[in-house]
């Protein structure tokens, strides 16, 4: 991210398995961890909405017309949006790493027909999202990342 200090400290996910996944992905430029759980993965780096600190997490993603698509599902039983999503809504200019490539993107939440189309794209790739949807009272956001 051009506006961010490349040497600034970054905190990884507090979930130990996600933290290990992120570190392995970064250390191997995605050669380890790009395909995990049967889905393509990326590393998302974002600013905390309160702290302004940098955080990163690993997420499944899909591709649509050159854009990266994410699903803000959180865990299978939560009724609140994941922290990374709340932070991205507050600070939509984020960075992703796909394999060895790192680039800046702007995040937005898909709505209406676009959300429905992208939800299908993502549930075709990762049917587990249907299970998550059935276990929550919220509408699970679909996030679009466009290069800036």
Q: Which fold has domain 10-147?
A: Pnp Oxidase; Chain A (2.30.110)
The CA radius of gyration of the chain, in Å to the nearest whole number, is: 14
What six digits make up the tokens of 146?
């466009």
Residue spans of the domains in the chain: they are 10-147
The answer to whether residue 2 scores a pLDDT higher than 50 is no
The 3-state DSSP class for residue 116 equals: helix
H or E stretch covering 82:
none
The pTM of the full predicted model, rounded to 2 decimals, is 0.92
With beta carbons less than 8 A apart as the criterion, state whether 69 and 115 touch. no
The 3-state DSSP class for residue 66 equals: coil
Q: Summarize pLDDT for 16-70 with one digit per residue, the tens.
A: 999 999 999 999 999 988 888 778 999 999 999 999 999 999 999 999 999 999 9
């Amino acid at each position: 991210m051009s506006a961010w200090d490349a040497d600034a400290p970054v905190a990884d996910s507090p979930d130990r398995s996600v933290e290990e996944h992120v570190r392995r992905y970064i250390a191997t430029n995605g050669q380890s961890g790009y395909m995990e759980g049967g889905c393509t993965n990326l590393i998302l780096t974002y600013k905390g909405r309160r702290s302004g600190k940098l955080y990163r997490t690993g997420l499944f993603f899909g591709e649509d017309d050159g854009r990266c698509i994410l699903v803000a599902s959180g865990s299978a039983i939560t009724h609140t949006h994941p922290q990374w999503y709340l932070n991205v809504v507050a600070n939509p200019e984020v960075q992703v790493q796909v394999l060895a490539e790192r680039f800046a993107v702007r995040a937005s939440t898909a709505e209406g027909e676009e959300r429905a189309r992208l939800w299908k794209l993502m549930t075709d790739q990762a049917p587990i999202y249907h299970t998550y949807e059935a276990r929550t009272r919220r509408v699970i956001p679909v996030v679009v990342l466009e290069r800036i």
